[in-house]
Each structure stands twice: as structure tokens, then as C-alpha cells.
Amino acid sequence: MIKHLTAVAAALLLAAGSAHAADAASAPKAPTAQQSKMGACNKEAGDKKGDERKAFMKECLSAKKSTQQDKMKACNTSASEKQLKGADRKKFISECLKA
């Protein structure tokens, strides 16, 4: 009797596991980073057509997102060019990094 109950329990577990795996396989997956970038570039391209659109998409997709470090360098350089110091420099860089 115990062997029979164990076999039935094992069969139910296997059936439940395979049903869950089938649900997971059919669920839609989140878009990859490249797919998200493609969607964003496609929206920006708007109603461009032909070679103009191809050139825009190539440029948009190959453009690298600026990192925080790149942004900091640019803001720092800009503040230096404006010869800002002290509190004015700090305020300028803070606003620059938020943009």
C-alpha cells in the first residue's frame, strides 16, 4: 500500500512539474537590451525613409550610452572652461549631472 501511494505521489509531482515547465516556456520573455535599443531608435527615426533611415538607425544603434564617468568628465571640463570655483562649481556640476 505504501509503495502504491509513493508511486502515485511521484507521478503527481512529475505531472505538476512538467505542466509548470510548459507554462514557463510559453510565457513571453522580456526584451533584451538590444531589442529595447532597437525599439527606441525606431521611435526616434519617425517617418524617415530609405537611405536616410538606414543611416540614422546605424548611428543610433552603434551609439554608446554615456556612462556616469563620461558625464562627470564632460561636466568637469565645462566647469573648468567657465572658470567656476567653490560653491558655484559644485552647483554647476550637480545640475550638469542631472541633465
* Mean pLDDT by groups of 10 residues along the chain of 99 residues: 63 59 62 82 89 90 79 90 93 88
0.75 cut: is pTM over it?
Answer: no
- φ/ψ of 6, rounded to 5, equals -65, -40
**CA distance readout (Å), 47 to 2, 35, 50, 56, 62:** 70, 20, 10, 11, 20
- Phi then psi for 29, rounded to 5 degrees? -95, 150
Measured between alpha carbons, how far is 40 from 79 in angstroms, rounded to an integer? 31
